[in-house]
Amino acid sequence: MKALVKVARGPGLELTEVPVPVPGPGDVLVRVLRTGICGTDLHIDAWDEWAAATIDPPLILGHEFAGEVVEIGSSVTRVQVGDLVSGEGHLVCGRCRNCKAGRRHLCANTVGLGVHTNGAFAEFTVLPEQNAWVHTHRVDLDVAAIFDPFGNAVHTALSFPVLGEDVLITGAGPIGLMAAAVARHAGARHVVVTDVSEPRLELARKLGADLALDVSQQSVGSVYPELDMSEGFDVGMEMSGQPSALREMIANMTHGGRIAMLGLPASEIAVDWSRVVLKMLTIKGIYGREMFETWYAMSVLLQAGLDISPVITHRYAHTDFAAAFATARDGRCGKVILDWTES
């Protein structure tokens, strides 16, 4: 089969022939239909400091995908051949305290699909049955392919109640954009998204933001009169990992405000912790998706009319992966999809 592989240490990827994986007793074999390109994949392609310290080539990339189950292991009982599935890319141990308590998203022994083990940028991939989310209702294939990052957005956006609240989202990358759509759907009074990329701010407007703000031109605090606000934001969602964004968010939270922090900083961030204490703010770190409550919420949100399709801005055949990665790296786009049914 064809697969997109990091064949050796150093920049670059190759689309090459590899053996079709064989499912174990508890696994399913999936014919991959669509995949989404993630920032993690860009890091691995570029072979930056994080990738050099984390990745052990040869490795098939990819953890955002949707496909059709074509074979099941002897112990598989729930998933059936022919099912359309998306994949939960965090493979947990099932033995630690959190796993046994049903808090699998907190497993300290998590293995990343397409990071620590071969992933889904291939014509076929193998996944443990428990990691295969079966779509029981009709869903667009491109949307099904991005259930992984959609789950990050839902996990972040619903960590705190947003009904009737004023919400600030810093970072209009794909996950921030989807979080804006979720917050709007969940009844937020105002949703403000900040970034410095006008193309992404325009996407934020399409996905339901009341105000998409270029913070290189205007401060967050300057929009209060326009939104009839006086005390700051009730809920913050930090998606950028930028030090200035977190500091600006903390400065503009109301007393008792709550921050869900998904953006991963590249280095330490200096924060005025006296503001956090005196405002009695709550800051919650978010990583991945709650297994599998978030997945249930994603499916229900789509069935209830939430439309995240505008976040998908580019589609390429998998053979045109170089152009797809260049588009994703350019940063003036939403999600970029690879079609594994086209050549």
| Catalytic entry in 16, 35, 43, 90 | 43
The closest alpha carbon to 65, from 20, 114, 106, belongs to: 114
Q: Confirm or deny that 283 is annotated as ligand binding.
A: no
Which tens digit of pLDDT belongs to each residue from 24-64?
999 999 999 999 999 999 999 999 999 999 999 999 999 99
Determine which one of 35, 40, 110, 254 is catalytic.
40
pLDDT for position 212: 98
Q: Give the SS3 label for residue 92.
A: coil
Active site residue 40: yes
Output the six-digit token pair for 15: 């689309």
312 is in an annotated binding site: no
Hey, what CATH class is 151-285 in? alpha beta
333 is in an annotated binding site: no
Tell me, what's the pLDDT at 76?
Answer: 98
Burial 17-52 (b: 16+ CB within 10 A, else e): ebeebebeeebbbbbbbbbbbbebbbbbbebeeebe
Would you state the structure tokens that stand for residue 100, as one six-digit string? 């046994």
Give residue-wise pLDDT tens across range 75-106.
999 999 999 999 999 999 999 999 999 999 99
What tens digit of pLDDT does each residue of 278-314 get?
999 999 999 999 999 999 999 999 999 999 999 999 9
- Count of alpha carbons within 13 Å of 263, Cβ hemisphere only? 26
Q: Are strands 27-36 and 335-339 parallel, antiparallel or unpaired?
A: antiparallel
- Dihedral of alpha carbons 311, 317, 323, 325, sign: positive
Nearby residues of 228 by Cβ (< 8 Å), 6 or more positions away: none
DSSP summary character for residue 181: H
Indicate the pLDDT class of residue 271, thresholds 50, 70 and 90: very high
Whether 262 has a binding-site annotation, put simply, is yes
**Any known ligand binding at 205?**
no
CA distance 210 to 191: 5
For the chain, the domains span: 2-146+308-339, 151-285
Distance from C-alpha of 292 to C-alpha of 336, rounded to nearest angstrom: 25
Q: 91 CB contacts (<8 Å, ≥6 apart)?
A: 110, 111, 112, 113, 117, 128, 131
Percent of residues, the chain, with pLDDT higher than 70: 100
* pTM tops 0.85: yes
CA distance 134 to 144: 10
User: Is the pLDDT confidence value at 338 over 90?
Assistant: yes
Domain 2-146+308-339: assigned CATH number: 3.90.180.10
Whole-Å CA distances, 33 to 163, 201, 317, 338: 36, 30, 11, 9
For residue 267, name the pLDDT band (cuts at 50, 70, 90): confident
**Token pair 């098939």 is at which residue?**
60
Question: What is the per-residue pLDDT across 168-180, written as a single tens digit (0 to 9) for each?
Answer: 999 999 999 999 9
